Structure 1
Amino acid sequence: MNPHMGDGEEIAEARLGTGPAAFIRPQQILIEESAADAVERWGWTLSVEDGFRLVRLASGVDPCELAAELRAAGHRASPNHIMVGQPLYWGGPSSRPFPAPFVAPPPDGPASGVTVAVLDTGIAEHPWWRDSAWYAERPPGADEFPAGGTPPAGQVGHGTFVAGLVLRRAPGVRLRVGKVLDARGVTDEATLLRALARLRVDPPDVLNLSLGGHTVDDRPSPLLADAVAALSRTVVVACAGNTASGRPMWPAALPGVIAVAALDATGERAAPFTAFGPWVDACARGEWLASSYLAVGEFAGYARWSGTSFATALVTGAIADAARETRDARAAATRVLDPSRNPEIPSLGVHVPGLAR
């Protein structure tokens, strides 16, 4: 393993045998409660969460090998995989954001009655939603960028950009924002599992996850699969990744999750950075989009940015907008992804119309 440091927490590149590489928290493993006795001799519990334990392993114990052994014995276990907000290790969603001139706000209109949860880097104050009830109700710690702060680096602004795209595509929806990614756009599976557990208390209609990561065996984490499946009333939409490959990205490739690829600025061809494959369900324009951003440095509150993260926000918005009529987000998703309504592109899924240029 090759350790790297990120915001005070270790990150390591790992693999299972000669398999593909992925990033994990070194010496950490996630297990279901029933597996606690099976790992007791290998480490100690760091935290007991809703449905899982985070365990710190003793030096020399390989979390990838131990997770594989536990799964073979019938337990649900996983290394604590790293996930990022593009995902593209480590350089931002296909490119950095660029300053943009004024972008017209989403049109005024009645509340749609549809709730969209956005788990991302948080959200910054912006004229588009400064006076919105949902913004006033944002949870503690959801602020992405403090007033008077220094110019951002890494992924700061990512959540604000995603939120603006959802609102432009689905005016009137109620956003519920959660902060799971740090300033560099990095999180881990344990953090995402905690956030998903909190959503089960009051499930949103649609959940936008413009984040993801690889696993050491290219199979889904069983704990993450369980957490997503538990949101049975919620349509989950996730980015396929900016890897320009067919390697599955999680949680996008999970059954029941809508995996979104990106089209280029024409809205007709695959963007050069997008992931692709039979596990991808939908695609939308993801190149050179304009949306809300931070008012800092050379930015006046607006930016242009590219990535599957942002194509995902447009698909989320399209489903949320359709749900205002059906009052059923799952039925709305079926309609939006109906190939008889919208054309299908091989390896990229159904083409979902985005925004006017």
Structure 2
Amino acid sequence: MNLYRVSALVGWVVILAAACAALAANAFAASLPANWNPQQVAVNADDNNSFLLRPGQILVAPGDAIDVGRVLTGSGWKRTDTRAYGITLFQKAPEKPETAAREVLDTIAKVRTATAYRPQGPARVAPNHVFVGESITSTDAINFMGEPRIQGGPGSSVELASLPKELPSRGALPGDGKGAKIAVLDTGMFEHEWLRSVQRAPLSDDVWDVEGDGYGDNESGHGTFIAGLIRQVAPAASIYAVKVLDSHGVGDDLTVATAMSQLPADVNIVNLSLGGYTEGNQPPMAIATAMQAWQNKHRVVVAAAGNHADKRPFWPAAFGPVVSVGAIEDREGVFAPASFSNYGDWVDLVARGAGLQSTFARETTKVATGPTPSKSDPSITFEGWAEWDGTSFSTPIAAAMIARTMTRAGLLSAADASHKLHVSAPLSGLAPFPYARLLDEFR
């Protein structure tokens, strides 16, 4: 057991026991992690409708902005501009952080009521849902700062691992993935000698410690880890990295949809190791609009099922057209559901998601041993390689398996390869995943 786990577990065993009891009734009622900005993330802390959202932001579907603008005239809500796929953003400075979620939801209810008379139905409005990166372990759900995670992520539990002499192969042939291009929409990338071929969108560098407080951010290295897994499974696939999450793993519906709208034309697989819950479990508006626009294209979107150990639909994985991926672990040659993985009949595939090792940053971080940072906190140094758990990492294995299938079956369409992989893989046989197919990249 490495220093991170020893220090974290010793310092937090009592605190986490109490925290788990408090969070069991409503995980969203807890305070946001200290390094999350309450001006950027709000919690709708309703036991039956819990989710994260951007304060002071409302998304409006294409064609509805004029009617919404009429309803909100004089209320302080301002129409800013039209974004990707015709989505319009309305904004207003929240009165105070603790009521920010309620302000958004009350305004949405007002718009729906005021436009219910329309022949086409109420105006289509929604919160700008916050999505987070999906990495965690089942035994140590805290980050470097010692804070409990929220909404199934983030909350980094990355561990030290020794850098191998060369990038390992996870059952791959040298040409696997040739002809496929996988977009990784995530935290961006760190430099790594095994990832020099990764193309990057502008402004897609990852950040280790944005506050400069000596503690690595919750999900720094998340995108770098994912890219390394893809290369281990489909080494000849092209990778295109786009930053849609900050280094604490926080992003949102509109940012992800905007990135989707700007992808190069030759991208045929999109990896989304992120997600969240939504108002009334409804599809997030911006990505739903993007998926509708992509109906006649041969792109495949692969998304993490989430790490909340819950069957509640987790978006964007819960979209019908999206390939949703849950996590399993190998227990002495027998696959079992990973204890942290979300589950249900909406999960399409399951793949390894525990004890995975991949490329990471070369950075040093202090590790909190108590409820607040301390000068006596020890430091650990990563040397470009790490071990991590989560459906975040089951997802790139599935994406790379689709790319591998394209190559081995001689298919030009990622959609065709996804279908072939799905029908050829065995049913998982695991009760939490009644319809999911099991992927084993080593076979």
Q: Calculate the TM-score normalised by the size of structure 1.
A: 0.88
What is the deviation of 1:94? 7.1
Aligned-pair CA distance for 1:188: 1.2
Equivalent residue in structure 2 for 1:62, among 86, 100, 103? 103
Percent of paired sites with the same residue: 33
Out of 262, 285, 288, the position equivalent to 1:225 is 288
Long gaps (5+) in structure 2: 1-27, 96-101, 136-148, 365-380
In structure 2, the residue matched to 1:52 is 87
1:245–1:44 CA distance, 2 compared to 1 (3 A): same
2:261 matched to which residue of 1?
197
- What amino acid sits opposite 1:83 in the alignment? F
CA distance in 1, matches of 2:106, 2:438: 40
- Distance, in Å, in 2 between the alignment partners of 1:226 and 1:175 is 25
In 2, distance between residues paired with 1:320 and 1:230? 23
Deviations 1:292-328 (A, max 9, x none): 1111222111000000000011111101111123122
**Shift of residue 160 of structure 1?**
0.4
Report the CA distance shift for 1:333/1:154 in structure 2 as closer, same or farther (over 3 A). same
Q: Which one-letter code corresponds to 1:300 in the other structure?
A: E
Partner of 1:274: 341
Structure 1: 5+ residue stretches without partners: none
Structure-2 residue corresponding to 1:300: 383
- Return 251-260 or 94-103, whichever deviates more: 94-103
SS in 2 for 1:89: coil
Separation of aligned partners in 2, 1:344 and 1:44: 49
Give 2:205's aligned residue: 143
Higher strand proportion = 1
**Alignment check: 8 A CA contact 2:326 2:347 kept:** yes
- TM-score relative to the length of structure 2: 0.72
Q: Following the alignment from structure 2 to structure 1, what is the Cα–Cα distance between the partners of residues 55 and 413? A: 42
Aligned length, in residue pairs:
348
Kindly state the Cα deviation for residue 93 of structure 1 after the two structures are TM-superposed. 5.7
SS of residue in 2 equivalent to 1:264: strand
Q: Which has the larger radius of gyration?
A: 2
| Offset at residue 139 of structure 1 (A) | 2.2
- Call closer, same or farther: CA 1:22–1:333 in 2, change over 3 Å: same
Give the aligned partner of residue 99 of structure 1: 160
Amino acid at match of 1:205: N
CA distance in 1, matches of 2:318, 2:43: 21
> Deviation above 6 Å: which 4+ runs of structure 1?
none
Q: Quick check: 1:283 aligned with 2:350?
A: yes
1:355 Cα deviation (Å)? 4.8
In structure 2, which of residues 415, 428, 433 is the aligned counterpart of residue 330 of structure 1? 415
C-alpha RMSD of the superposition:
2.8
| Matched residue type, 1:25 | R
TM-aligned CA deviation for residue 236 of structure 1 = 0.4
- Structure 1 window deviating more from structure 2 (210-219 vs 94-103): it is 94-103
Q: Distance in 2 between matches of 1:173 and 1:328?
A: 14
The answer to whether the 8 A contact 2:152-2:307 is kept is: no
Instruction: Determine if the alignment matches structure 1 residue 353 to structure 2 residue 415.
Output: no
AA in 1 matched with 2:81: S
Equivalent residue number for residue 240 of structure 2:
176
